[in-house]
Amino acid sequence: MTTQPAPPTPRRVVVTLGNPNTGKSTLFNALTGLNQRVGNFPGVTVEHLSGTLTLRSGTVNLVDLPGTYSLSAQSPDEMVAVDVLMGGVAEVGQPDVVLLILDGTNLRRNLFLASQVLEIGLPVVIALSMTDLLERQGVSLNLTRLGELLGGPVVPVLAGQAEGLEALKGALEQALTAPQPSSLRLNPALAAAVQTLVAELAGTGVAAAATEVERALIDEQGYAEKRLCDRAGEPWRERLAATRQALAQGRNLATLEARDRYSWINKVLAEVEQRSARRTGWREALDRYLNHPLWGSVAFVLSMAVVFQSVFAWATPLMDLIDGGVGALSGQVRDSLPPGLLTDFVVNGIIAGVGSVVIFLPQILILFAFIILLEDSGYMSRAAFLVDRLMRWCGLSGQSFIPMLSSFACAVPGIMGTRVIANPRDRLATILAAPFMTCSARLPVYALLISAFVPAHSWLGGFINLQGLVLLAFYLLGMLGAIVTAYLVTRLRKSESTSRFLMEMPPYRMPSLRSLGLKLLARARIFLHRAGTLIFSVTLVVWVLSAFPRTSTGDSPNAEAPSMEASYLGRMSQALTPAFAPLGWDWKVTAAVVASLPAREVVIAVLGTLYAVEASDAAGEARLINRLQDARHPDGSKVFSLPMALGLMVFYALCLQCVSTLAVMRRETNSWKWPAIAWVYMTSLGYLGALACFQLGSAL
């Protein structure tokens, strides 16, 4: 007998929900693999991931909600979870099953959210994470009994090791085919009052879901109340207040909710949890030092120093390897292809351009590896704890530290990481400050210009060298830009709520190498994709503009490349040069900078192309650095004087040359206003900074 799979309409929906730091995203990735899409809920700035989960009975749309500790909402962003669970978001539809992820080592607090979700009355499947750490904590759990008390199957999973996934899929399948809605009811009086209000609202033509009304009752002055009163009319505010008073009897309904839920949780845990002596392990010992006021600060500075030192020290051999490979490849192509337009294009356009960017892959991956390790191990939260006081000085909190540090790798994940910041003004300040942090795309520009124009003096037997110090100075300049910007935003904008610093300190975890590898692979893919598309296209355009119009000479069978000045590119940039001459830039630098407005690392590729074209008939193997050092103005003076090179670096430090950052800013702030402001602000700063640097430097 053969059974046809059920037709996929209507598509079944499973929603994942859980506290932050429960391993929810790891589980989501393990369940959906590469089959996922990023989407935005309408009207809010939170993003959701959805992916396809394949079960035996067919596919399911798995929707990942942002990590949260509770269903109560102070903002539209926090209301998304309630709306999705109630089937009020058209993009998702009515969820068929809720997949709750609970951290087994932190069950007491995790069960708070669980108790709220269980009262909604949807079928629930519980994935219990971190179960490998339970034994070490001296805890054993009766999972069968826990499942009975919660009213849904409990499946232990270790998503990092892909353990328990099959059992979880089986439980989801069971819940989808034979749904058993949860039936927890902690406060019957509250539930009855909610039913009355829902019926009354329906009578006046306002459709409101039970959970929405319940939140409006409990979260006094919260977002659910505001939205309900906007829809049903102001008199409802008093109606809610009266019901609240009747239910709470002199107490606060929110306090009663917390008390009721935790007393239910205590009863549940008393039945399922067995505690024996807790083994104090390396985690506690580590925290004694890493969070110690003195040793913690020392460790923090040391770890930051190691990160930046290693980006250079460890990457060099790999970069030399890539450099050699690129050189060998272009030599090979030059030898095997007949001289002419095609060879010129392949060698000077593609290989020189893209190759000069790809060479920085090792540095970028090493930087990302450190940031991923710091995050996955739990150290990031400790660092945020240590620097909160410092960050407060420029109006931010320690929570802004994590996005800022991530921005050293790339502002895009940094800006996405600002979602953990609850205060909208602080979040905006962090979003606007993040692009100043020296991202990995600036690194190639600095590395090239510093090794070309800053003398390699060293002291203390090579431990400190001038090039390293100059690089450090540019990192500090970026941070200064970020600090000043954050300071300005937090001073100029009024905040509706006080900034808070309330952060869970997750236990230290041994980062999984598999997960590190996957994340690095994704990063490498993004970088190479950019090099292959955006950077390649810009390089291509630059090469075409610089290689045409072709000129014919009588004795040559082929049309010759024009002199650079006579090419389209030369003519165009010469027209722009007067605006940049006060910065000491000639038309080639101008062309490279303008071409790199969409992506700053393009500048290397364009310089590579521009200088390779000119030198193509010469020995050809001279590296870009030597070519830049030898570049001359028409009057014979060097183009790249020290003040000009430093000014150029200042420009790259301050200017926002990155379409990806602008796009993510627009997505996270939900308007073009802030990316536009940021672009104008940063570009002006870059121009003025380069101007000051060149003019003052030349005058000295």
Nearest alpha-carbon partner for 163 in 329, 357, 27: 27
Q: Of the listed pieces 308-316, 498-506, 547-555, 673-681, which binds other proteins according to CB under 8 A?
A: 498-506
According to CB under 8 A, which one of 398, 478, 584, 647 is a site residue for other proteins?
A: 398
Tell me: does residue 254 bind other proteins (CB under 8 A).
yes
Cα 235 from Cα 231, distance rounded (Å): 11
According to CB under 8 A, which one of 492, 502, 618, 700 is a site residue for other proteins?
A: 502
Tell me: does residue 381 bind other proteins (CB under 8 A).
yes
Nearest alpha-carbon partner for 151 in 176, 187, 177, 175: 175
- Total residues at interface with other proteins (CB under 8 A): 39
Tell me: does residue 258 bind other proteins (CB under 8 A).
yes
> Is the Cβ–Cβ distance between 605 and 539 less than 8 Å?
yes
- What are residue 64's DSSP bridge partners? 16, 49
Tell me: does residue 578 bind other proteins (CB under 8 A).
no
At residue 167's C-alpha, the angle toward residues 161 and 168, to 5°, is 80
Tell me: does residue 264 bind other proteins (CB under 8 A).
no
Closest CB 422 distance from other proteins, rounded Å: 9
Q: 385 vs 651, which CB is nearer to other proteins?
A: 385
Cα 379 from Cα 578, distance rounded (Å): 50
CB atoms within 10 A of CB 580: 20
Tell me: does residue 496 bind other proteins (CB under 8 A).
no
- What are residue 638's DSSP bridge partners? 632
Helix (H) or strand (E) holding 653: helix 642-654
First CA to last CA across the chain, in angstroms?
90
Q: 106 vs 490, which CB is nearer to other proteins?
A: 106
Closest CB 382 distance from other proteins, rounded Å: 9
> Is the Cβ–Cβ distance between 218 and 240 less than 8 Å?
no
Tell me: does residue 700 bind other proteins (CB under 8 A).
no
Tell me: does residue 293 bind other proteins (CB under 8 A).
yes
Residue 458 DSSP SS3:
strand
- Residues 2, 3, 8, 14, Cα dihedral to 10°: -120
Using CB under 8 A, which residues numbered 93 to 112 contact other proteins?
A: 106, 108-109, 112
Closest CB 505 distance from other proteins, rounded Å: 4
According to CB under 8 A, which one of 140, 177, 196, 297 is a site residue for other proteins?
A: 297
Nearest alpha-carbon partner for 12 in 95, 100, 98: 95
Tell me: does residue 267 bind other proteins (CB under 8 A).
no
Closest CB 79 distance from other proteins, rounded Å: 14
Please, what sign has the CA dihedral across residues 229, 76, 380, 105? positive
- Conformation bin of residue 500: beta by default, left when phi > 0, alpha when psi is -120 to 50: beta
According to CB under 8 A, which one of 83, 119, 214, 219 is a site residue for other proteins?
A: 219
Cα 223 from Cα 496, distance rounded (Å): 14
> Is the Cβ–Cβ distance between 440 and 367 less than 8 Å?
yes
Tell me: does residue 504 bind other proteins (CB under 8 A).
yes
Q: 24 vs 519, which CB is nearer to other proteins?
A: 24
DSSP 279: P
Closest CB 159 distance from other proteins, rounded Å: 20
Q: Of the listed pieces 310-318, 380-388, 409-417, 449-457, which binds other proteins according to CB under 8 A?
A: 380-388
> Is the Cβ–Cβ distance between 592 and 444 less than 8 Å?
no
Q: Of the listed pieces 216-224, 589-597, 616-624, 654-662, which binds other proteins according to CB under 8 A?
A: 216-224
Tell me: does residue 550 bind other proteins (CB under 8 A).
no
Q: Of the listed pieces 50-58, 369-377, 501-509, 647-655, which binds other proteins according to CB under 8 A?
A: 501-509
Task: Compute φ and ψ for 431, nearest 5 degrees.
Answer: -60, -40
Q: 473 vs 503, which CB is nearer to other proteins?
A: 503
Note the residues at the interface with other proteins (CB under 8 A): 69-70, 72, 74, 106, 108-109, 112, 219-222, 252, 254-255, 258-259, 262, 287-288, 291-294, 296-297, 381, 385-386, 388-389, 398, 500-505, 507
